[in-house]
Amino acid sequence: MNNLSDTNIFDFSKITGPIHDFLMGFLPSWATVTVECLLIGVGLLLAYALLALFYIYFERKVCAAFQCRLGPNRVGPWGLLQSFADMFKILIKELISLNHTDKFLFALAPYLVIIASMLCFAVLPWGYGLQIINFNIGIFFLVACSSIGVLGILLAGWSSNNKYTLIGALRSGAQMVSYELSIGLCVVTMVCLAGSMNITDIVMAQENTWFILKGHVAAWIAFIIYLIAGTAETNRGPFDLPEAESELTAGYHTEYSGIHFGFFYLAEYLNLFIVAGVATLLFFGGWMPFHITGWDGFNTVMNYIPTPIWFIGKAIALSFVIIWFKWTFPRLRIDQLLTLEWKYLLPINLFNLALMVCIITFGWHF
C-alpha cells in the first residue's frame, strides 16, 4: 500500500535519508538523534509561526471581503506585513503580573494550549515521507493530543481569579468535551473505511478515489458533521461562546497579556489549520493528487504537482469554509450549542457509523 513505484509522486525520504546517513557518518547515534531533533524542532517552529501569520492575514482579508471592506492594506504591499507588525508588537508587550491568582497555573496554561497544538501539528504528513512521526496509531495519537488543549483553557479560566474568565473556561470545557465526541466518531467512521489508523496508510488508500467520493453518503455525512464539530472544537464563530466579547470581555484569556496572550492567539489559528488538515487527510486524500480512474494522462499531470502543494491547498480551501461559517452565522446560545451536539449530531453520528460499517461489509463503496 505504501509503494509509489508506479507513480511520479516524489518520496521525501530520498532527501531525509541521505541527511541521516551523512550525520551518522561522523556522529554517534545519540548525537545524530539530538541534531535531527533540533533541526526538526526549528523547522516545526518556523512552519508554525509562518502558518499562523498567514492565517491571521488570510482571515482578515476574507472577513473584509464579506463585509465589503479592504482589510489590511497599509503595512507592506497589499498589507502583507501587517501580521508581522502585529507579531513584533505583541512580543514587546509587558507581561502584567496579577494579584490573587495562582501564578504557576496561570503561567502554565498557555504553554499547555500551545504544546497540544504543536503535537497535533507534528504528526500531519505534508507529503509522502514528509512527516515528523509516522506510526501505526497516528490518527489516535492526534485525537488524544488534541484533548490536551482544553486543560490549558480550563486552567487559564480558573487560575485568573476572574468571574468572566471562569465562565469562559466552563463554557469551553463543556463545548470542547461535547464536540470531541462527534469528531472522534467521524474519525472512527473514516478509519473503518481505511482499515488502518496509520495516517500514511489512510492517505495511500485514497490513491485512486478520495474517501469523500468512495464512501458514498456516509462519508459526506461524516464530513459535514466533522466541519461543524471542528469549528466548535476550535472555539470559532458561531461557536465562540468561551470568548464572547459582548458577554465575557475576552473569555478565558481576558487577564493575559504579551506573549502569553499571543500563545492563545497562535494556537487558535493553528488549530484551524489542524482541523482543516485532518479533514484533508480523512476525506480528500491528504497530499494525494486528484486522480480519475482510466484517465492516465490526466493522472500523470496531477502527479507532477508537488504533494505539499496538494496538502496545503486543500487545507487552506477547507479553512476558508470554516472562516466563512464565522463571518456568516450569528453566535449560538450555550443551550443551543449543547442541544445541537447531544440531540442531533451525536445520534446522527452513531447512525452514520453503523451505515459505514454496512457499506464496508456489503462492499457498497467504490
pLDDT tens sequence across 11-63: 777 888 888 788 888 888 888 888 888 888 888 888 888 888 899 899 999 98
Q: Which of 47, 70, 92 is the last residue of a domain?
A: 92
Same domain, 53 and 178: no
Which amino acid type is present at position 71?
Answer: G
Same domain, 128 and 223: yes
Q: Which of 230, 357, 239 is nearest to 281 (CA)?
A: 230
Same domain, 177 and 289: yes
- Whether 70 is in a domain gets the answer yes
Domain housing 123: 93-361
**129 phi, psi to nearest 5 deg:** 85, -5
Same domain, 314 and 355: yes
Q: Which of 92, 124, 155 is the last residue of a domain?
A: 92
Q: What is the pLDDT of residues 117-136, one digit of tens each?
A: 888 888 888 888 788 888 88
- Whether 4 is in a domain gets the answer no
- Whether 249 is in a domain gets the answer yes
Q: What is the pLDDT of residues 234-247, one digit of tens each?
A: 888 788 877 766 66
Question: What's the distance, CA 6 to chain centroid?
Answer: 31
Q: How many CB atoms lie within 10 A of CB 171?
A: 26
pLDDT-derived band of residue 1, with 50, 70 and 90 as boundaries?
A: very low
Say what the pLDDT of residue 239 is.
84
The half-sphere exposure of 244 on its side-chain side, counting CA atoms within 13 A, is: 19
Same domain, 29 and 153: no
Q: Which of 51, 70, 92 is the last residue of a domain?
A: 92
Same domain, 46 and 193: no
Q: How many domains would you assign to the chain?
A: 2
Same domain, 204 and 331: yes
Same domain, 19 and 66: yes
Cis amide bond preceding 72, omega within 30: no
**Cross-strand bridge partners of residue 127:** 130
Looking at the predicted structure, is the pLDDT value of residue 5 above 50?
A: no
Looking at the predicted structure, is the pLDDT value of residue 233 above 50?
A: yes
